Amino acid sequence: MSLRARLALLYTSIVGGILLIFGMAVYVSVSASLTSQLDAKLVWAATNVLEPMRAGALGVIKLPTLDLFADIYIQVWDREGQLEASSLNIQGYFQPLDESGLKVQRPTYRDVAIGSIRLRVLTVPIVTKTSQRMVGTLQVGTRLDTVQTTQRVLVWVLVIGAAISMLIAGVAGLISTGQALAPLEAVTRTALQITRADDLSRRIPYHGPPEDEVGQLISAFNQTLGRLETLFNSQRRFLADVGHELRTPLTVIKGNVDLMRRMQSVDDESMDSIESEVDRLTRLVGDLLLLAQAESGKLTLVKATVEMDSLVFEVLNQMRVLAKDRLKLTLGEVDQVLVCGDKDRLKQVLVNLVGNAIKYTPAGGEVVVGVGKEGNRARLTVSDNGPGIPAEDLPHIFERFYRAEKSRTRSKEGKGFGLGLSIAYWIIRNHGGQIDVSSSAKAGTTFCVWLPLVDGGCQPETTELA
């Protein structure tokens, strides 16, 4: 059953339920009110019979006139159960109006049926005024026709009224839910069109108030589409980039192999070139694997306490070979800093950042590496006075395969895959840290890595971030 039909059914049931309770309340109160009017009439009649009767009664029933009203039946019974008198309208009737009532000690009301006639009967014991002795029984009764007719009419009015109200509620429910759900049908249609056309650039139009429930749903759906589109495009770009990066070294290798085959000799230059391209491919595959693990949160971290200052010394000593005499690689602020992390991965971050600084800073420049503390965080900085990163590239440098335009056209030795910073980003993120960059053409570039300081000791552990 559709949501629309379900909601309409729900409205109808609620209206039906309310009307049922309301109808029962009206029925009961109207019946009670009519019955109490009848009872009052019976009491009045009984009093009119009993008063003169008691005035002279001393054990013997003195009968007053019993014909008060045409619609009130009166019987007087003695103690032995003999009918003493009855009103004119039931002269030929010798049975008690209420058989079981004759035995009662107190005034009692009962509804009885005599043939097809239903009566309300009040039975009152007749007692002497002085000795309170019971000398007989008075029964007054009247027809219940009016009450029954009113009850029957009331039931019909309530049933028909309820049926009409439920019908109106059902139709109104169908129309109003139809209107409210119409935008959702548009969502479904658009979603299906997107699936069929495989076009994630489409968005669902909505002209209603953006803050209502449907507006929020559509906005959330459009945001999801936007995110999917970005992911999908980056996936495409990623595949194209990987293909491109793999093709270049493979072309070089193939060229060299062809050359050696033609020359019928193995020359050292070609072998060196092949080896360097194979190294490059190996590095690329290693980087891609690491990035895939990091991005899927499956990067295994072997955590232990890491002395960041020692790590900085270690990396600087190794990187000096790369800097050669081309530029100055110096140590800035050094503080004793302990963090909890995977030493090899953190070293990889440092190597990537220092390697980039050396790679992109022209000869004669300077690269400064420092480590310190700020609050409860370790701060690792790698600054250079190179050409800086253009402002338009800055927001993208942590993306996979992203290289600033200048770096793309750089000579072969400076060529990277554009993966180093995204790997660094993910490693630091998986350590609960943060990495940011500031850069200007004048001052050069500074990368800053923030990591939580060891807090109450670091238990050596291997965590697979799932």
Q: Give me the residues that bind ligand ADP (CB under 6 A), please.
A: 352, 356-357, 360, 384, 386, 389, 397, 402-404, 407, 416-422, 445
The least CB distance from residue 419 to ligand ADP, in Å, is 6
Q: Looking at beta carbons only, is 345 or 403 nearer to ligand ADP?
A: 403
Q: Is 154 helix (H, G, I), strand (E, B) or coil?
A: helix
Q: Looking at beta carbons only, is 189 or 283 nearer to ligand ADP?
A: 283
The least CB distance from residue 245 to ligand ADP, in Å, is 10
- Tokens read off for 435: 């990495």
Q: Is 255 helix (H, G, I), strand (E, B) or coil?
A: helix
Q: Is 461 helix (H, G, I), strand (E, B) or coil?
A: strand
> Please, are residues 121 and 139 in contact by the beta-carbon 8 Å criterion?
yes
The Cα–Cα gap between 102 and 100 comes to 5
> Please, are residues 81 and 134 in contact by the beta-carbon 8 Å criterion?
no
The least CB distance from residue 291 to ligand ADP, in Å, is 10
The least CB distance from residue 374 to ligand ADP, in Å, is 22
- Tokens read off for 455: 């807090």
Rg (CA), the chain: 50
Task: Give DSSP secondary structure letters for 87-151.
Answer: -GGGTT--S-SSGGGGG-SS-EEEEEEETTEEEEEEEEEEE-TTT--EEEEEEEEEE-HHHHHHH
Q: In the complex, which residue's CB is closest to ligand ADP?
A: 416
Q: Looking at beta carbons only, is 137 or 439 nearer to ligand ADP?
A: 439
Q: Looking at beta carbons only, is 256 or 361 nearer to ligand ADP?
A: 361
The least CB distance from residue 410 to ligand ADP, in Å, is 8
The least CB distance from residue 391 to ligand ADP, in Å, is 12
Q: Looking at beta carbons only, is 214 or 358 nearer to ligand ADP?
A: 358
Task: Give DSSP secondary structure letters for 2-46.
Answer: -HHHHHHHHHHHHHHHHHHHHHHHHHHHHHHHHHHHHHHHHHHHH
Q: Looking at beta carbons only, is 31 or 293 nearer to ligand ADP?
A: 293
The least CB distance from residue 360 to ligand ADP, in Å, is 4
The least CB distance from residue 299 to ligand ADP, in Å, is 17
Q: Looking at beta carbons only, is 73 or 402 nearer to ligand ADP?
A: 402
Q: Looking at beta carbons only, is 301 or 353 nearer to ligand ADP?
A: 353
One-letter amino acid for residue 385 of the chain: N
Helices (H), 296-342: 308-323
Parallel, antiparallel, or unpaired for β 134-143 and 328-334?
A: unpaired
> Please, are residues 96 and 80 in contact by the beta-carbon 8 Å criterion?
no
